[in-house]
Amino acid sequence: MALKNDQYNQILREYDERRFRNKHELDERIKEAYQAIPRLKELEDEIISISARSGRLALFGNTKELDELTERTSKLKEEQIQLLIDNGYPADYLNMRYECNKCNDTGFIDNAKCTCFKQAIADLIYEGSNIKSILERENFSKFSFKYYSDDYIDESIGLSPLSNMQKIVASCKSFIRHFDKKRENLLLLGNTGVGKTFLANCIAKELLDRGYTVIYLTAFRLFDILEKYKFGKEAENTLAAANQFEYILDCDMLIIDDLGTELSNSFTTSQLYLIINERLLRQKSTLISTNLSLDNLNNNYSERIYSRIISNYCIRRIVGEDIRLQKAICSKDA
């Protein structure tokens, strides 16, 4: 995924700022703790002194005294931790805190891009999607079953909307738990407003929090990117589209929302097959949500696409009333 130099440097600057912020926050915590518990500073000064002595002893190979100093350092650190706890502070209060504990906010692990760096690239490329602000509102902590009725059985699935949704949410959480071992794909079917997009965003939030790279695109935007990639003429736009296209193929989870709302033609059909098939070959997970039925998917797209989905996707059909309409009615009643 080639980025322009200014884009790449922008990400690196953000990591520099993050590390500077981490260090500043640690310095403030140390200052506060030392003022509240002066003994902490005394212990730290002794640890530093021992460290200097240990360095000199290591040069001369004095392992016996070195071991004694190591044991002494361990006891001093234990005393520091106990002092913090006794005074109402967390045990790790004097430790550096990172947004990404895998790379310690460097963006790299053994010279390879960390998943947080890859997601930073995705956020930059797809900054118009505003996915992070959406996920603050739409996640499992905000999910509610109250909009799904338990008063009737839907004949098509043999369950009430509530029971069905409870079953689907449980399967989605299982999908997330086993994501690193079993890269599955999901197809969410259902009428407008039953919660398909909300559920997709819940999954996205959980995977992002676990360090996976996630791209969310409406079907309309997906095919717009693919069209620019294939037919773009301006060099800068073509490079941007190429970056987006490669990331669409290679991110850990691709979410295609509202499939079927785009203008369907031979181009969209061929490109959809390419995306689905290539991601299957790369063993990358894809989630598709659509208002279309399985029969309509078969009719609107090629037999090859239908076959790939039926054979390789876990299909979940959500039933119920339009939640947006229910919320609108409730707000009026209030």
pLDDT of residue 66: 77
92: which 2 tokens?
């790790």
Q: How far apart are CA 262 and CA 275, in angstroms?
A: 16
Q: Render the burial of 310-334: b for 16+ CB within 10 Å, e for the rest.
A: eeebeebbbbbeebeeeeeeeeeee
Q: Which residues sit opposite 288 in a β-bridge?
A: 187, 256
Q: How far apart are CA 98 and CA 309, in angstroms?
A: 40
Q: How far apart are CA 115 and CA 278, in angstroms?
A: 21
Cβ-based neighbours of 126, under 8 Å, separated by 6 or more:
215, 216, 217, 244
Q: How far apart are CA 244 and CA 200, in angstroms?
A: 20
In the chain, which stretches have pLDDT less than 50?
1-2, 235
Average pLDDT, rounded, for the chain: 87
pLDDT of residue 235: 47
- Three-state SS for the chain is CCCCHHHHHHHHHHHHHHHHHHHHHHHHHHHHHHHHCHHHHHHHHHHHHHHHHHHHHHHHCCHHHHHHHHHHHHHHHHHHHHHHHHCCCCCCCCCCCCCCCCCCCCCEECCEECHHHHHHHHHHHCHHHCHHHHHHHCCHHHCCCCCCCCCCCECCCCECHHHHHHHHHHHHHHHHHCCCCCCCCEEEECCCCCCHHHHHHHHHHHHHHCCCCEEEEEHHHHHHHHHHHHHCCCHHHHHHHHHHHHHHHHCCEEEEEEECCCCCCHHHHHHHHHHHHHHHHCCCEEEEEECCCHHHHHHHCCHHHHHHHHHHCEEEECCCCCHHHHHHHHHHHC
Q: Which of 300, 279, 282 is nearest to 290 (CA)?
A: 300
pLDDT of residue 1: 46
Predicted TM-score (pTM) of the model is 0.71
pLDDT of residue 324: 78
CA torsion 158→162→164→165, rounded to 10°?
160
Using an 8 Å Cβ cutoff, are 175 and 314 in contact?
Answer: yes
pLDDT of residue 284: 95
Amino acid at 50: I
pLDDT of residue 120: 84
- Main-chain dihedrals φ then ψ at residue 61, nearest 5 degrees: 70, 25
Q: How far apart are CA 128 and CA 288, in angstroms?
A: 20
Q: Degrees (nearest 5) of the Cα angle 61, 67, 68?
A: 120
- Main-chain dihedrals φ then ψ at residue 89, nearest 5 degrees: -100, 155
pLDDT of residue 241: 66
pLDDT of residue 329: 72
CA contacts within 13 A on the Cβ side of 51:
9
Cβ-based neighbours of 75, under 8 Å, separated by 6 or more:
none
Q: How far apart are CA 253 and CA 211, in angstroms?
A: 11
